[in-house]
Amino acid sequence: MAENPNTAPEETKGADTTAQVGTETTAPTTTTGAKEEAKKPTASEVKKAQKAAADAEKKADAAVKAAEAAKQDAADKKAEALAAENDLPKPTFTGEDERKYRFSETAPKTMNIDGKTYTQAAIMKNDELMNTLINGNSSFVEPVYS
C-alpha cells in the first residue's frame, strides 16, 4: 500500500500528528492603520526633539570653538618659533673690503639671481654672489657694526 506523504506516521511519541498543507495566515487589515501611523507628535515629543537639537547645536559650537582655539595655539607656537629664530645671531659674510655683512630683516628667504633660485644660506656660501650684492648696494644686505 502506498503511503501519503502529507500524513504523519501513526506511531509518534508526543509529536503533533496533523500536517497542515497549504494553509496561510494573514494579518487582519484595517483602514485606520495608515491614519494611526501618521498621527502628529505630542507636545512632549516636540519639546524633546527641540532640546536634542539645541544640545546638538551647543556641541557643534563647542567643537568650532575648540578648533579655533587649536588653530590660534598653532599660530602662537609658530610665532614663538619665528621669534626664537630671529633671536639667533644671523650668519655673517666678510666682504672684499674686510667688513662683515649679513642679510637684512626685509631680505626674502629665497632670491632669483640670473634665472636661478638661491636661498640665503646658498648665497652666503657663494663669494661671487655675496660680493655682487654688496658692491651693487643691495638693500637686502647690510653691514654689521660691532
- 13-27 residue pLDDT tens: 555 555 555 555 555
pLDDT value, residue 1:
53
Q: What is the pLDDT of residues 41-60, one digit of tens each?
A: 888 888 898 999 999 999 99
> Which of the two residues, 126 and 40, has the higher pLDDT score?
126
pTM recorded for the entire structure: 0.41
> Which of the two residues, 6 and 63, has the higher pLDDT score?
63
**pLDDT band for position 83 (cuts 50, 70, 90):** low
What ranges do the domains of the chain cover?
42-87, 93-143
Residue 109: which of 125, 120, 98 has the closest Cα?
Answer: 120
- Relative to beta strand 100-103, strand 110-113 is unpaired
What average pLDDT does range 122-139 have in this prediction? 90
CB of 123 closer than 8 Å to CB of 111: yes
Q: C-alpha cell of 20? A: 497542515
CA distance linking residue 133 with residue 122, whole number of Å: 13
